[in-house]
Structures are given as C-alpha cells and as structure tokens.
Structure 1
Amino acid sequence: MRKDKKQNKVGKVFGIIFSIILLATTMYLLFNIIKLNILPSQLLFLVTILFVLLDFIFILLLCFATKGIVSKLICIIISLVISLGSCVGGYYMSKTGGLLSNITNVAKHSKNTVSVVVKESSDLKKKADLAGHSIGTLANINTVGSKKVIKELNNSGIQMEQKEYGSLTEMLESFYSGEVDSIVISESSRSQITDIDAYKDFDNNTRVVYQTSYKVENTDKANAVSNITSTPFNVLISGSDTRGGFDENGRSDVIMVATVNPKTGTILLTSVPRDFYVTTACDAGDGCMEGQLDKITHTGIHGTNTTKRTVEKLLGIEINYTFKVGFDTVTELVDAVGGIDVNVAPGYAVDSFLMIPSFSVHEGVNHLNGEQALAYARERYAYSEGDRQRTKNQQQVLMGIVDKITSPAIVTNYASIMDSMANTFSTTMSNDEISDLIKYQLNKNPKWKMEQYMVNGTGDTLMCAELGDAAYVMVPDQGTVTTAKDKINAVLAGKSAEDVE
C-alpha cells in the first residue's frame, strides 16, 4: 500500500515537472511565431488553439488521468517529443526573425577601404618607410580617401611628395614607369584595375604597405508602395563584388530589376549587362562622374543608390526597393543548401573556367557547389556572347538558390542556411512588408509566373569616366531598352510582358 502511494507521489511529481516543460516550450514556440508575424490571422488562431488543446490534454494525462507506470511513461515520452518539436520550431522561428532583422536593417553607413600600394619588388616594407618618397593620387576620383590617407600619414610624421593624376590609367602608367614610388587606391577599384589587360597581374606584382577605411552615408532609401500585397512594385537586385566585407561599396556585377505584380502573380526579371554603356546618375560626390558615360558596373563603387538612380534614368522607371547581394558570400549559401542544379543548354558546355581551371560543365543538368556556382556566375571569357551569357548564368544561379530554399530539404540544414543568408543579402524593404508578403503567399497561395528579359547592345571600346581611359563596353541597343521599359510598364499595369513585341 505504502509502495503504491509512493509510486503515485513520484508519478505526480514527474507529471508536474514534464507538464511545466511542455507548457514552457509551447509558450516559447508560440512567442516566436507571433513575434515573427508571418502567419495569417486565421492560421495563427488555429495553431494557437491546437497547441493549447494539446497542452491541456497532456497536462491532464500527466497529472491526473494516468495511474499506471507504463501509461505514465508513454505520456512522458510523447510530451517530451512535443516539447522537443516546440524547441526546434521556436529556434527556427527565432533564426528566421534574426535573418529578417539583419537583411532589413540597412546600415546607415557604408565602408570604403583605401590602400597605399607599392610594387612587390619595392624596398618599402612598412608605413614608416614611405617617408620622403612620392605618392600618386587621383585628382577627381576617391578624393575623400586620398585626403584621409595623406592626413593620417602626416599625423604620423610621414611627409610624402604627392602627385595628382587625372585618370586611373594615367596614375598606373606613372606608377609602373617609376615616376611615383607608391599610389593610393580604393579597394573597391581593385577589380577595375585587374580588368585592364595591361594590369591583370596587379594583385600579384604589388602589395599594400598601409591601409585605412572611412564611412560614407548610405542614402539608399525605400520608395515604399501603399500596400505591398496589392500594389505592383520594382526591386533593383544589385550583386556586389566587394572583397572587404558586405558593408563595403563595390562594383555592381549583377544588375536586375524584378517587377512584381501581386494581383496578377507575375514577376518580370529584367537584366542589364554589367558592361552596358550608360550615363551615370550620381547620388554622392567623392569623384562620381555625374552625367558621364561609363559601364554601369562602376556605379556600385559609389553606393547602391547611384546604381539605382542610373537604372531609373536608363529605363525611365521608378524603383521602389533595392536588394543587395554579396555575390562572393553566395558561395556559403550554396554550400549551406547542399549545392544547386543548373541546366546547361546544348552548345554551352565549358571545359575550363577562369576562376577554377579544373572545373567544367556539360550539357544538361550540372550540380554545383558554392565555389563552382560563383565561377559559373562570373565566367564570360568562355562564351562567344561574353557578358550576355554571364548575365543568363547569374539568373540561373539565383533561381537555383531560390529552388533549394523553397524545397522541403531546407529543414535539414535550416540554421546554417539562415546564418549564410544573413551575410549575403540586405534590402530596403521593411520587416513588416516582408512579413505581409509571406502572409499573402500562405493565405492566397498565388501561382507566380516568372518572365525574363535582357537589354542588349553591341560591343565596342570607348572612354569610361571612372577609368579615364577606353575599355570594352556594350553600347545599348535603344530598341531593347524601350522594349524593357514597355515590358515593365505592362506588368505594372496588370498585363503580361510577353504581350510586348
């Protein structure tokens, strides 16, 4: 008798303990679901009622209804499974909330890194060695960075003979000819330098002896629509090639406008090749060549807002939001989702890629890891269409990532995927707007129709304002620019882009 009483008392204590665990984990899950704010009201109500009922039933079973050891043990095991599921679910909701907070929390400032560079063969090994030597700077580009470097060197007691140049190529020629011992470059312009055939080995035959950074105001702001679930809008997708971190300005190597009409369920993706020769519409100073002709990729050096304004001017449209993608960090995301699949069309097999000479793709479906996906998205020399095909490859990589992220397999590696995405994207779309879109998708389940278009042009070698020298560009075919504008306006008006000839 005493033994039965003792067993009942122990069972009741365990019942209370596991009831508290069940209740606490359920509250944790519901708190994170409500905080994330992505479930439609009806669905949120049903989920809440379901968990409350489950908790009520199992608390009754754990504390009052079950008497035998076996039945009590079964209830404990089931409640532990529910508790574990609630913990995992709450954790995933929390990670998702953290991601949305990260990508919508657009930094107030962007970082620019500036370096003092000497030849690899130079005797100048450290900052102190620069004293008494000559240094080349640009007269009209990156003036803020150059002044900061000179000021910091002067404050350290290092006096140098400064020589100013009118263009990047003029400064490089003087540097390699020995006219100056060192030069000041913005790290965001390093890719510009290595893109010039004469200086493609710049990274290997030079080294940095001093480096500093400064912040510039990020003026990229949303031009928000009244209701993102019913009003059509344009999003600029800008893929940056930054090397010094996601918060650093860099060339816009991927430029796409996503036109979204929630009412018709249509998304039009309009791509602009990086070498497109356009009139720059500047957002800020520091050497941005307002009204000058240049490759559109160079606009990213002066911030996403300069790229946005230039695209708006080119296509004659209004862009509501920007979506910045750090393309180098996409490698982490592709690896986190377990790689992506791309379908290589007949005639487009490649035996070797510039970034990975041993990497190749065959006709048909190819599975790519992160490093391979980046090489595939950046390759242009292996194709006769050059930048045109690279733009198509970039679309494939982005769509491959979307396919993986929206597949059930995401659950197995959810946490690492969230961590990767947090360092890969940023947007001027608000947290509430993204939540509204997710709720709209869950509630209405629209069948999105994807449409694509790319403006085109003719290759030429023309003066580029940022370089101060001639370089390969794509001169716009104005007919394709007009067609792009018409297709965008058609989708905004509730029609299909395919109706535009």
Structure 2
Amino acid sequence: MKKESNKARSKGIQLDFLLSLMFLIFGIALLYSGFTWKVIPSAWMIVIAIVYILLFLILTIAIFVRQPVWARLLRRIFVLILCAVVGIGCIYIQKAKEAINKISAPATTEEQVLILVAKSAKMKTDADLRDKTVGIQNGTDKTNGVYAKKQLNKAASGIEFEEDSDYTALLQKLMDGGLDAVAISNSRYRAAADSIPDLKAKTKTLTTYTYKRKNIAGSSKDINNEVFTFYVTGIDEVGDPNLDLHSDVNILMIVEPKAQNITMVSIPRDGYIPNYEADNANDKLTHTGMYSLNDVLKSAENLLGFSIDYYVKISFSSVISIVNKLGGITVNVPISFCEQDENRSFEQDDLICLNAGEQKLNGKQALAFARHRHSYVNQDLGRNQAQQQVMKGMMKKAMSLSGISKLDDLLDTVSKYASTNLSSDQISNFASAQLEGKKNWTIRSIYLDKGAFDTRMTASIADWPQDVYLFNKTEINQVRDAYKGAENRGKMKAFNFDLQDLYANTPKSSMDSNIVWSDQAQNPH
C-alpha cells in the first residue's frame, strides 16, 4: 500500500511539474507578446513579469508541500484557469497586432487594370486587339489609363485609343458595340458593376495587367514628442476605404502630443481649390478624392501652406460600428431633425429622429447626426460642425481607459474601414503613451465658415456650373497661425507686435494665383 501511495504521489508530482511547465511556457509567450506589441507600457510589463515569476515560484514550491487531496486538486484547477487566461491574453494581443498591421498601409499596393471586351468577342489575348479601338479614361483614373495604354501598345500594334473622362460613357459604348475594349482599374470596375446592371452580363475580362503602386509615405516625426498634422479623409459609403470616391469628410488635425492638445479644422467638401492632378484647374475639394488620395492631400497642402504628415482614409459609415463598440458618444445636437438611416431609407419606420440638446448617441444616431445637413441654414457648414462633434466624441472615448480596454475590438472594427500611413510601431507607441499619460486631451475647433458660396465651373464636371465654397483668406491665415503656434509653443521666443499691423507675423495666404477667395465671388449666396 505504501509503495502504491508513493507511486501515486510521484505521478501527482509529475503532473504538477507538467502544469507548472505549461504555466511557464504560456507566461513566456505572454511576456514576449506584450513587450513586442509595445502598446502596454514597459513599466507595466516589468511589473507583470515580476508578479508572474513570483506566482510561478510559489506554485512550483507548493508541489513539494504535503497537502490534502482536495487542496492539490484546487491548485491544479487554479493553474489550468491561469493558463487559460494567459492563453486568451496571448490571442488578444496577436489579434490586436494583426489589426494594427491591417490599418497601417504597406509601402506598395497591388493595382490591377482590366481590359474588358464584349461577352461575344472572339478575342483570346491582348495581342488580338491589333487595329482595334480601345477606350481609355483620361480623367480621375488617368494614371491607370496611361499605364494601360503603354501595356497595350507593347502587346499589339495599330490600336486606336478613344479617350473620355467618364467610365460610364466608355462602358456603355463598349456594350453597344461602339468600342472593341475598355481599360479600367479593378476598383473602378467594382464600383461600375454596382451602378450598371448589365455590365457583368455583357462583358468579360480579356486580360489583367498588374503593377505595384507606391503608397504615400508618412513623416518620420516622433509623434509622441513632436507636433504633427493628421488629415482625415472620408467617403460617405459602406465598404472598402481604398476606393477612390468623393472625399466627403475632410478634417485636419494639428496634434500637440506634449501639451496633449488637438486643433481640429473642418474643411468644407465644396471648397473651391486648385486640383493638383487636374493641372491645378479649380475644382471642388470633394472631387479630388475621385482622382487619388494623393490628390486630396496635395491639393489641401497647397491651400493650407504647410505639409500634411499623416492621413487616415475611412469609410465614414463605419462610425456605426465604432460608436457602438465604444458604448456610445455624447454630443450636443443643435437642432431637432429626422434623417435617413445608414441604408439611405426614408421609410417612416427607418427614419432616425433626434431632438436638440446634449445626449448620448448610439452608432446609427451618430451617423445620422454626421450626415444630416438640410435642416441647417448653412447646410454643409452645419454638417461640418456635427462631424467634428462626432470625431471628438469618438476620440475622447477611444483615448480614455475604458476605450483603451476595448482596443482589440476597436482595432478589429477600424481595420475593416480605415487605412493610414502611420506605421504599426507608431500606432502602438502612441497608444502606450496614452496609457501612461495622466492628463486628459484638450480638443478645440476651427470652423471655416466665413467664406462665401458662389456658382463656378469645376475641372471634374465641365458641363455645367456648380455651387462651390470660396474660402475666406483670413480663415486660412487663422489655420496657418494655429499650426505655427503649435510648432512654437513652449519655445522661448521674443514676443513683439506692431500696433499698425497686428497680422504682420501671421503666415501669409497661399500665393497660388489660381485660388479664388471669397471677396472675388461673382454671385455670393
């Protein structure tokens, strides 16, 4: 009996050693994941490591202490529970890492250009396009059009190219037999397939050209210590934020990490500015999004007079998921109104109605608030202020301890609807700094609403004049002053001013002669 008892005890010790070893391995995995993730502050990770080592030693020593059967059983269950918790922690960190990597845009993106032909066409390769007529877009997707033209000229001789700024016209002509083929980027094809019912049924892909397109690199600034600018450009659609569609949301953020201050500037989507990729011809800011993200940023930089360090491109409809993950946001609704739901339904049961006043909004209500404009006297300018409130609400909630605790869910949601040129390390380090920080962030607003609406021709829609917003020169100076002030804050500089010219040290407005200012409005309204 004694030998059997010793044998049973020996087996029990072996089992306990295995459990302790498993606990140690899980711990090493957790600590490695935590330190390499960089979101959890190093000081916190050191404390976690010390506690874990002490716990491991206590559990290991307890193996050699004689205990009743029930106590040994409880200890083993406790170790198994700890291993499960630590394992879940490792999975959580890994998912968060993957989500951050998804949000952070890679150095290059694979671009695909399709060569579409009629479904009944006998052609099998691009070489069969010899002496044929091919439609090429020379407007918002001009870069891919130029690339397709080069590839087609290599593949076949005698091709005649018919250019048009509108893909819809080219595709319709192809389906009607007026063209032999159309070159179209894959992203534009997906969008066209949604709006042209018979496109998939009447056409097929003859060949696909693939190339690597460089993405916009971010600044090398230390975003935990240096002032930086951050541009939010958003499409008011559900789905892939990488599609080149109208830039409906345009918010510039001037971020002062040491002072924990953010200045938000809402730029009206109808702002009339030189379009960088349309040879600097004047256009609506929202139209630049149809050309490329680079066009949005370059055109905005030209107006503002300083560089934009980083961007985030979002599908603004994602606010439903983000706000719900945050548990709602608090805003002050200035007017009572009703707005269509996220599916743009005006059915009575689908309408989202809000009363004026401070209140907590869920995701659908926040989207309706950010979208609504018709009840405001100043329409889009009123919507800009609402969008800023929604952005502020999300940012304050996300940068709070409760928001950081939901980081995994938030990152998973954001990764589906957003893309940024902040690196994964920058995002992680910034989040870590927020966990360590003791001060709350201050967010102030600048609204560009002192300009004038006018009727003007635009580069992207040349057939008829459109309502546009002409910026007030003083407002743009105010934004530049805010940027310079943020850069100089904390530096010891001589303070002086000229009573005869209070704006002598204010950064000057852009010298671009193409900019039309509000005092040049022909039909202000």
Deviation at 1:268, TM superposition (A): 0.9
Distance in 1, matches of 2:213 and 2:185, equals: 17
Deviation at 1:350, TM superposition (A): 1.7
Rate the CA distance shift 1:274–1:405 in 2: closer, same or farther, 3 A. same
Whether 1:445 aligns to 2:441 is no
**Structure 2 spans left out of the alignment, 5+ residues:** 124-128, 491-502, 507-525
Distance in 1, matches of 2:103 and 2:30, equals: 23
Whether 1:429 aligns to 2:422 is yes
Q: Which moved more, 1:350-359 or 1:253-262?
A: 350-359
Of residues 199, 216, 221 in structure 1, which corresponds to 2:217?
Answer: 221
Kept in 1, the 8 Å contact 2:328–2:363? The answer is yes
Alignment of 1:267-346 (within 5 A): 267-281=262-276, 288-328=277-317, 331-334=320-323, 337=325, 340-341=328-329, 343=331, 345-346=333-334
Whether 1:251 aligns to 2:240 is no
Distance in 1, matches of 2:328 and 2:120, equals: 44
Whether 1:203 aligns to 2:195 is yes
Alignment of 1:94-493 (within 5 A): 94-109=94-109, 111=111, 137-139=136-138, 142-146=141-145, 163-165=162-164, 167-168=165-166, 203=195, 207-208=199-200, 209-210=203-204, 215=211, 217-225=213-221, 227-240=222-235, 245-281=240-276, 288-328=277-317, 331-334=320-323, 337=325, 340-341=328-329, 343=331, 345-352=333-340, 355-357=344-346, 358-363=350-355, 364=357, 365=359, 367-369=361-363, 373-374=366-367, 376-381=369-374, 383-403=376-396, 405-406=398-399, 415-456=408-449, 457-469=451-463, 470-493=465-488
Q: Which moved more, 1:350-359 or 1:473-482?
A: 350-359
Distance in 2, matches of 1:488 and 1:411, equals: 28
**1:389 counterpart letter in structure 2:** G
**2:457 counterpart letter in structure 1:** M
Deviation at 1:151, TM superposition (A): 8.5
Distance in 2, matches of 1:152 and 1:419, equals: 38
Q: Which moved more, 1:181-190 or 1:442-451?
A: 181-190
Kept in 1, the 8 Å contact 2:231–2:251? The answer is yes
Deviation at 1:221, TM superposition (A): 1.5
Distance in 2, matches of 1:206 and 1:95, equals: 40
Distance in 2, matches of 1:459 and 1:402, equals: 31
Deviation at 1:87, TM superposition (A): 1.3
Kept in 2, the 8 Å contact 1:114–1:184? The answer is yes
Aligned length: 472
Distance in 1, matches of 2:212 and 2:269, equals: 24
Distance in 1, matches of 2:425 and 2:413, equals: 22
**1:255 counterpart letter in structure 2:** N
SS at structure 2 position matched to 1:217? strand
Distance in 2, matches of 1:170 and 1:426, equals: 28
Distance in 2, matches of 1:19 and 1:454, equals: 60
Distance in 2, matches of 1:374 and 1:479, equals: 32
Deviation at 1:377, TM superposition (A): 3.6
Distance in 2, matches of 1:352 and 1:240, equals: 17
Rate the CA distance shift 1:86–1:331 in 2: closer, same or farther, 3 A. same
SS at structure 1 position matched to 2:232? strand
Whether 1:35 aligns to 2:52 is no
1:173-220 CA distances to partner (integer Å, 9 max, x unpaired)? Answer: x969x9957977667779999xxxxxxxx9267635356675462341
Rate the CA distance shift 1:367–1:116 in 2: closer, same or farther, 3 A. farther
Deviation at 1:144, TM superposition (A): 4.7
Deviation at 1:222, TM superposition (A): 1.9
Q: Which residue of 1 aligns with 2:25?
A: 24
**2:259 counterpart letter in structure 1:** T
Q: Which residue of 1 aligns with 2:519?
A: none
Distance in 1, matches of 2:457 and 2:167, equals: 11
SS at structure 1 position matched to 2:30? helix
Distance in 2, matches of 1:323 and 1:57, equals: 48
Kept in 1, the 8 Å contact 2:138–2:145? The answer is no
**Structure 1 spans left out of the alignment, 5+ residues:** 118-123, 194-201, 282-287
Deviation at 1:293, TM superposition (A): 0.8
RMSD: 4.3
Deviation at 1:289, TM superposition (A): 0.8
**2:427 counterpart letter in structure 1:** I
Distance in 1, matches of 2:406 and 2:79, equals: 25
Rate the CA distance shift 1:151–1:37 in 2: closer, same or farther, 3 A. closer
Distance in 2, matches of 1:127 and 1:276, equals: 45
**1:349 counterpart letter in structure 2:** F
Distance in 2, matches of 1:169 and 1:215, equals: 21
Q: Which moved more, 1:15-24 or 1:41-50?
A: 41-50
Deviation at 1:138, TM superposition (A): 4.3
Kept in 1, the 8 Å contact 2:242–2:419? The answer is no
Deviation at 1:314, TM superposition (A): 0.8
Rate the CA distance shift 1:127–1:92 in 2: closer, same or farther, 3 A. farther
Q: Which moved more, 1:321-330 or 1:263-272?
A: 321-330
TM-score (norm 1): 0.78
Distance in 2, matches of 1:170 and 1:207, equals: 10
Distance in 2, matches of 1:306 and 1:462, equals: 20
Sequence identity (%): 23
Distance in 1, matches of 2:132 and 2:328, equals: 51
Kept in 1, the 8 Å contact 2:113–2:209? The answer is yes
